[in-house]
Amino acid sequence: MGSVSLPQRRRSTPAGQKVGGGLRPYVVGGLAGMGSTLIVQPMDTLKTRAQMAARVGARKVGMASLLKGLYTGLGAALLRQATYTTVRMGVFRRLSEARAERRGGTGPLPLHEKALAGMAAGFLGALAGNPADVALVRMQAGAMLPPSERRTYRHVGDALVAVTREGGARSLWRGAGPNTARAMAVNAAMLATYDEVKQRLVESGVGTEDSLAVQAGAGLASGVAIVACSLPLDFVKARLQAIDPTTGSVPYRGALDCFVKVVRAEGPLALYSGAGAYYLRCAPHALLVLLLAEQLNRRLP
């Protein structure tokens, strides 16, 4: 999911008197991410299934399989936001504030410093959210797998227990390499593009930084950067996380092996499978997280 700059806390009320105090950026970020996921979950499911389709053979995949249960794995998706987005949004704001204080609090941070803070936040967030991400991919991809590999999970807890039983606790971090790389790419691309486009729109007279038109335009433009920079990594992550070793079918030894085999067997464009669904998930999700976080910051005491 793309990352966006969490709105600054208003300074009129001491932080200690606000909900969460020092934890406020984490609370607001997590709630905003979960609220956004309730809307964009169908696009995420379509993206994951499109990434798995080539593995089972495109001719065997019908529209019914793609569209069945678009909210499958919603519990895992919400858990992912409660971990991944909570950490990345909170860490990003804390790192940004700490750096601003060292600079004397004069003016906004340079773009490259925001990007670095976003990459660090994405890395830590992805590590925290990887178990939920594994459960989510397993639950979403089930309908696309061959019958011999197909598993049914009652809920996210059942998926997490099953994954742990199959390969031990470390299997919860399967795909962590491409997942953290993806998160770093998403955060850096999102921050750089969002801030730059927003600045250009303000300068061109479209509106102020707080106007919906400017925020929407910058958010939608940043979605293109997110897709270009992170979709291949997201593709490899999904293929690795969908592996169930108990079926005896382990097609990839790791991220690099997966990348090479996919390019050789399916062509390099396969890495961009589900690009449309990925954009329709990432761009609205990033924009909704920003808008929801802004509203939460205004309404929470």
Q: Is residue 243 part of a domain?
A: yes
The pair phi, psi for residue 200, each rounded to 5°, is: -65, -40
Q: Is residue 6 part of a domain?
A: no
Q: How many domains does the chain fold into?
A: 1
DSSP state, 235? Answer: H
Q: Is residue 36 part of a domain?
A: yes
- Give tens-digit pLDDT for 137-176: 888 876 666 666 667 888 999 999 999 998 899 999 988 9
Q: Is residue 27 part of a domain?
A: yes
CA–CA distance, 197 with 111 (Å, rounded to integer): 12
Query: What does the mean pLDDT of the chain come to?
Result: 81
Report the pLDDT averaged over residues 179-199: 83
Could you tell me the residue range of the domain that residue 67 belongs to?
15-299
* Per-residue pLDDT, 126: 95
Q: How confident is the model at residue 191 (pLDDT cuts 50, 70, 90)?
A: low
More confident residue, 66 or 151: 151
Cα–chain-centroid distance for residue 111? 21
The domain that contains 248 carries what CATH number?
1.50.40.10
Q: How confident is the model at residue 13 (pLDDT cuts 50, 70, 90)?
A: very low
* Per-residue pLDDT, 16: 41
- Give tens-digit pLDDT for 124-138: 999 999 999 999 988
* Per-residue pLDDT, 10: 43
* Per-residue pLDDT, 259: 93
Report the pLDDT averaged over residues 203-210: 86
* Per-residue pLDDT, 211: 84
More confident residue, 106 or 44: 44
Q: Is residue 99 part of a domain?
A: yes
Judge whether residue 6 has pLDDT over 60.
Answer: no
| Predicted model pTM | 0.74
Q: Is residue 9 part of a domain?
A: no
Q: For residue 78, give both structure tokens.
A: 């919400």
* CB-CB neighbours of 11 under 10 Å: 7
Judge whether residue 277 has pLDDT over 70.
Answer: yes
* Per-residue pLDDT, 23: 86
The torsion of the CA quartet 153, 154, 157, 162, rounded to 10 degrees, works out to -30
Q: Is residue 205 part of a domain?
A: yes
Among 98-107, 120-129, 202-211, the range with the most confident prediction by mean pLDDT is 120-129
Among 52-61, 64-73, 175-184, the range with the most confident prediction by mean pLDDT is 175-184
Closest CA to 287 of 204, 234, 209, 221: 221
